[in-house]
Amino acid sequence: MILFQMQILSLEKRILPGTTPVKVGFETKENLGTRTRQDIDRLIEQAKQIVDMGERVAYLAEQFIGTRFGDKTLGGGPGKKEVFIVNLERMDCVTAVETFVAMANAKDYNDFLKKLQGIRYKDGSVSWESRNHYSSAWIRENQRYVSNVTAIWGGIPFDKTLDIVKGVPTVRVHGQYIPRNNLDKALNEMKDGDIIFFTVSNSNLDVGHSVIVKIRDNGVKILHASREKGKLIEVDLVDYLNRVHRFTGIIVVRPQ
């Protein structure tokens, strides 16, 4: 059983033959788009001037508004050699969130690569089996960077068996989420940089999308990689939920 700061989330794993992560040498592929390593160094240095970690994450996310959406940019799969991908030209919802959290905690570009590796993979071991495919695992493995605030904002329990990703162990998850019809407290408490994971009704999947919060004078906005719009955009959270009905609620973590 894993004790979160704000909730209990336990994952019971059934290890499949041949899926034990092993730390070995790995290949890295970098696509920075129109940016250079020096550009990222400067961006990280600018972000470090922001003391609050959540505000820092939100600031970095804003710098990437307009970045093209990219589906399955990490590649990989069961039985394939895992390549550590760094792609700033195209992002999906997962790679966007982990990129901004890694940059917010980095000293420079090289440290960003190390942080990103540690955030994406359990114990930093680059393999398909060690990748944090499920958001529940991502949250559990990254408690040094984020604090789960779901429970104190009206979270209720959920219990699922996650087995939608091929080639990784089945994961039993006991967590909490805030139902979409009970978001008033969460909306009032959200701050810049909070990370929202939208929960789904699927029995074998926990989360369907992830976004970064940005507070504006006219309400709670979210910065996210939109498949529909083909790029990273900013939209109103309430409007988004009123339009997208497949999500059952939210899990919220706060950068720290």
pLDDT band at 11 (very low <50, low <70, confident <90, very high): very low
Amino acid at the residue 3: L
Phi/psi for 81 (5° steps) reads -70, 125
Helices 93-104 and 53-63: angle between axes, nearest 10 degrees: 130
Write out pLDDT tens, residues 94-111.
999 999 999 999 999 999
Mean pLDDT of all residues in 52-71: 98
In this prediction, residue 199 carries a pLDDT of 98
Per-domain boundaries in the chain: 2-19+145-255, 27-124
Q: pTM of the predicted model, to two decimals? A: 0.89
Mean pLDDT of all residues in 31-56: 98
Mean pLDDT of all residues in 74-87: 96
Phi/psi for 23 (5° steps) reads -80, 115
Residue 69 has pLDDT above 90, yes or no: yes
Q: Considering the chain, what percentage of its residues have pLDDT values greater than 70?
A: 91
The 10 Å CB-count burial string (b at 16+, else e) for 22-37 is: eeeeeeeeeeeeeeee
CATH architecture of 2-19+145-255: Roll (2.30)
- The hierarchical CATH code for the domain 27-124 is 1.10.3670.10
- Cβ-in-10-Å burial (0-12, 13-18, 19+) of 2 comes to middle
Query: Which of these ranges, 14-23, 140-149, 190-199, 222-231, has the smallest mean pLDDT?
Result: 14-23
**Is 117:141 a contact under the CB 8 Å cutoff?**
no
Residue 132 has pLDDT above 50, yes or no: yes
If you write DSSP's letter for every residue of 137-152 in order, what string do you get? HHHHHTTTTEEE-TGG
pLDDT band at 25 (very low <50, low <70, confident <90, very high): confident
Structure tokens of 192? Answer: 């810049």
